[in-house]
Structure 1
């Protein structure tokens, strides 16, 4: 591909809109990505992008891409494949990259975490540092989002496998949980349920969490998860808390049957925000840049059903409003990231997906 072509593609998608006093434009950084799932920006402002089919790409600022070697094999079936990609907090020194993915195969598969050291051509010294237990026999509801806590420990969201929803309430099962490990895969001694025998479980009662972000300034972990028909949730996580699925829910089964008659129950933690009907949330970013001052501190997530992004207005840590954005793309948004360069980035989910940069409108960029 000629080096000038990605630059031309970047100019082909320009849209200007006014959103809460924040005029923006959209530009395509890279196109032709096969169901991209997640991205991380490197210090040189290039990107790592996962494709669900099991490829990790290095994407340059001008859209050039290279498939990296040294990645694990994945189970590409149903919702399975590569999921999240995350840089170690000390990446500048250790070059460590973390991937979450579907490991195993038909009848015995699980969400797993792979760690390797980034080189010019791929991941070196790669190793699997976590595989969710027990293994499941369904290719759905993997979760798969990663986030580092300020203490350097690593969180992983796991789904309950769709057919195994009762496991979300079983502390002995790692399905339907948020797990916490050290950066090398070992188990922190201060995990909240170690005494109960749940070594890696940090929170429980989740259905299929596909967005998680840490607000280190406030000490808050935000998570969203898919409900069934209705009942998508945003949760504010606290270690050891139970978030209710499937004992409580705002949704119903796909058949129309009742899953639970309860939306609340003593001892179970209520969501901070609920969508009925469902929007199918995907990706989650806390905007922390300076390019859009009125957005700073707000949450952004994809809404797969409506092919747009939702901005959740946060005031003093409370969700006080919601705005619909970027619907002019007309595409499913799989991931949203607030990057170190101060821009917001989107991944569109298709066989010809795109990496899209959100930047201030002409004259307001800096």
Structure 2
């Protein structure tokens, strides 16, 4: 009798061990299955969602195969249970376990938004409004309201945001991006101001920012920035008007149709540097770090004029007569280009 009981016990033990081994292997196969996706996918875990609900959603999308043994995951693989809310990137070839561990770590997908140097604040607002998974916190705010929210004393934000690429996660707001851009700009501006040349005709970092924005709009060629800065610095030192077209365009606002006419150059606006003396009242664009540094560390030159060469870049002159000859060469080059 005892022998028979022992045999039955051993048989039951073997069956139990076999069942456990089978269950573990099924769970392991479930976790090691590759995601059924052919391209990268974004997957969002909402706040309050559990592992079970995330698996159900993945199964519903057809990205994983269901398995009745998945209910044993919390017991056999507790390391994949506590997933965090967020948006995650799933990639082809990734296993279910790898995807779940990413969700447990909270390594959310990083969206990017890139602002171009020389762009304007109204263009930034348009970009932000179209950005994917970015909360719109500023839609009903005026520019002055946003400036106040950023802690900025100036009501216009032109030039006060650093143009570069910013990363964000789903659920962040456009105001979060603007705060980072403003802090980055102030940090770079302060750094450049500390290492500026002596005896510049710039009374404040904000004036340096105004000049930097003009430099940014005048050239995209890095090697020219310090020389163009020298032209404007030389003009300011001599009390000459800056006479730079980008400021005229900015002052024209919506009236600008792609062309500047003679009457535009003589029409007074707060930004028309053919009419006003000195710098315009605010920056006219978002300058990059290189333009800020050029404004505060210009080339040592005697140039007072420059004009486009017609082949990229500019021709610089020290006298008006020399400049007028350069203008005639430029016009001749334009005519040649049109005839080709």
TM-score (norm 1): 0.22
Greater fraction strand:
1
The structure having more radius of gyration, on CA atoms, is 2
TM-score (norm 2): 0.23
